[in-house]
């Protein structure tokens, strides 16, 4: 391994830093010139990537703002339904918590069986997986449509 290291050509050459007559910088030649050219290409590529990322972030922000505006308008147009969605989301959240408690109890009670038997694990996933996924989806929709956020947009209820 040490012989392989010694046989490689060094990336850097020595630069004379002694006090000289002029203030010229040393020029790159040969391998150094190639290295400088490659580094410049890498820098240009990184600059282009940064520009593309900035454009992408700008577009994502614009889409996010538009979606938030549309959602805000919907909430203002349907304040009663938005409040109902909030109440439903809170109730469904409690159902989800209870369901997850039952799921974790099932896992803890049948850990050995689930670990050792692929059939039992598949049965468990088939039994609980779709319900958890659908419950999460419903909660997301109800939470997004619920009237939370700016209290000035929500009229008082009695």
Q: Is the domain of 70 the same as that of 92?
A: no
The b-or-e profile of 72-109 (16+ CB within 10 A means b, else e) is eeebeeeeeebbebbebbeebeeebeeeeeebeeeeee
Given this model, what pLDDT does residue 114 score? 87
Q: Is the domain of 71 the same as that of 107?
A: no
Is residue 7's pLDDT more than 50? Answer: yes
Cβ atoms of residues 50 and 126 within 8 Å: no
Q: Is the domain of 84 the same as that of 144?
A: yes
Domain limits for position 43: 32-77
Cβ atoms of residues 106 and 100 within 8 Å: no
Q: Is the domain of 71 the same as that of 112?
A: no
Supply the mean pLDDT for the chain: 82
Given this model, what pLDDT does residue 152 score? 43
Query: Is position 110 within any domain?
Result: yes
Alpha-helical segments (H) within the chain: 2-7, 31-77, 79-109, 111-116, 118-145
Q: How far apart are CA 103 and CA 130, in angstroms?
A: 13
Given this model, what pLDDT does residue 157 score? 40
Is residue 5's pLDDT more than 90? Answer: no
Tokens at residue 32, please?
């150094």
Higher per-residue confidence, 40 vs 117: 40
Predicted structure pTM score = 0.54
Calculate what percentage of the chain has a pLDDT beyond 70.
Answer: 74
Given this model, what pLDDT does residue 151 score? 43
Sign of CA dihedral 110, 114, 117, 122: positive
Please say which residue of 24, 49, 77 terminates a domain.
77
């Amino acid at each position: 391994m040490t012989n392989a290291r010694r046989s490689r050509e060094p990336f850097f050459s020595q630069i004379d830093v002694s006090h000289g007559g002029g203030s010229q910088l040393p020029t790159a030649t040969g391998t150094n010139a190639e290295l400088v050219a490659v580094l410049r290409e890498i820098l240009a590529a990184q600059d282009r990537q940064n520009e593309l990322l900035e454009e992408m972030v700008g577009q994502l922000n614009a889409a996010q703002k538009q979606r938030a505006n549309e959602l805000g308008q919907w909430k203002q147009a349907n304040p009663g339904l938005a409040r109902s969605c909030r109440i439903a989301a809170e109730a469904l959240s409690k159902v989800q918590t209870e369901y997850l408690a039952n799921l974790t109890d099932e896992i803890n009670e049948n850990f050995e069986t689930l670990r050792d038997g692929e059939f039992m694990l598949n049965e468990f996933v088939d039994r609980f997986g779709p319900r958890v996924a659908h419950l999460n989806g419903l909660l997301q929709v109800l939470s997004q449509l619920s009237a939370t956020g700016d209290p000035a947009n929500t009229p008082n209820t009695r």
